Amino acid sequence: MDEEILYRQMPHSLDAEQAVLGSMLINADCIKDVMAKLRPDDFYLRQNREIFETIQTMFLYSRPIDALTVLSEMERNGTYDDATTRAYLAELMEVTPTSANVLEYADIVLDKAVLRAVATAAAEITALVQENTGTATTVLESAEQKIYAVRRGRSAQEMERIGPVLQGVLDHLAELSASGGKMQPGMPSGFSAIDDKTAGFGDSDLVLLAARPGMGKSSLALNIARNVAKSSGKAVAVFSLEMSREQLVTRLLSSESMVELSRLLTGNLRESDWVRIASATSALGALDIRFDDNPLLTVADMNAKCRRIDNLGLVVIDYLQLMTSPGGNSTTRGESRQQVVSDMSRMLKIMAKELSVPVLCLSQLSRANEKREDKRPMLSDLRDSGAIEQDADIVMFIYRDDYYKEDSEQHNIAECIIAKNRHGSTGRVNLTWSPEYTTFSTYEGRYNEEDSW
């Protein structure tokens, strides 16, 4: 009686579970299809779960499967019951109308299993709230992780033959060719020199922009965010863990209006400045750029916020080493800190893939480059973890020679060093740096062929 009450409380379909098992006993050819879709835990009734586990084991060892062999295996593994098992296996085959619909039966079983997983997660979340042992932020983060765990556990895709995939690639190639080869397959950064190398930032790309402090990485990221919002019409999410949203918007206003940042900060404005500010305000106000300057954000927080944004085109994070780990610790040192940064970079790559948009993440560099005669950054200079290099699809560095040499001939010229690029070539391109407006622009005579690596 207790089990019957429980059945009514939790989602399940006894008929569908029996039909799946009966189909496998009737027709062993359908077992491989069921195994690709269901797991033992998807069966609610314990007896059904034990039968499925027995068939699964036999399938893995390529043993013949029918009612008699399954019965024998259950006797061997200790799940056989003298009073019920033999009769129940016979019943399963009798109640199954046909094995032809086995995948439809499996879909029903799977649907009920997901509903039970959601119900379990909801109960665990309720228990967390009632225990009153954590802050609202930690409980919310744990709740999101539990729900995402259900989703991730059910997001497996069927393996696909090369034919349909190849057709999709050819269709996309035809679209690119129709544009005369001028179409960027990825999201353009707005800097033609960079886009010539990267072919734009691809959907699901994790793009790492790294530099020593003061090189202008935040400014370049804001420039890219503005360019993407303008050219694509899509939303851009900017997470700033260092600067406030007011500081970021002031920089954007300076860049857009070409009014010196120092004038905007002091209020020492001319009449002509106000005209340009008004025009820039109108242009920026039409863009869908969203800011979050909470310094305690985790990757889970960012992922949850981005999922609520329609027509998302780009995510910008400033910067990796300031992010809070899932456990709420952003200041761990030593090996544990390296592991934290590794975990976060991996989660950022997963987030980019789940959202299907490029994620532009800024990162600090170690001081190793400053000990070398040639101070241009290298991949080995990435701070805290080599996993950052592994997870990123594109790694870009900013280097300004006049930062280190006052008499440098490369005054206000920045090198964008593309050190890793899964989709194209690496090399160096030049950008013009206008510090008074905190803005970069493409440099004429952008790069030399010898700079390609």
Q: Which residues are catalytic?
A: 242
> Under 8 Å CB-to-CB from 412, ≥6 apart: which residues?
402, 432, 433, 434, 435
**Residues 42-45: contacts with CB under 8 Å, at least 24 apart:** 42/109, 42/110, 42/113, 43/17, 43/109, 43/113, 44/7, 44/10, 44/12, 44/14, 44/17, 44/112, 44/113, 44/116, 45/12, 45/14, 45/17
Interstrand relation of 289-292 and 235-240 (parallel, antiparallel or unpaired): parallel
Residue reference for tokens 């006894």: 14
Q: Would you tell me how many other CB atoms lie within 10 Å of the CB of residue 62?
A: 7
Which tokens in the block code for residue 397? 């560095």
The 10 Å Cβ neighbour count of residue 148 is 18
Q: Where are the alpha helices (DSSP H) in 27-135?
A: 31-35, 46-60, 67-77, 85-95, 102-131
d(CA 268, CA 251): 16
Strand, coil or helix: what is 229? helix
Could you give the CA distance from residue 273 to residue 114 in angstroms, rounded to a whole number? 59
433-451 in b/e burial notation, b at 16+ Cβ within 10 A?
bbeebbbbebbeebbeeeb
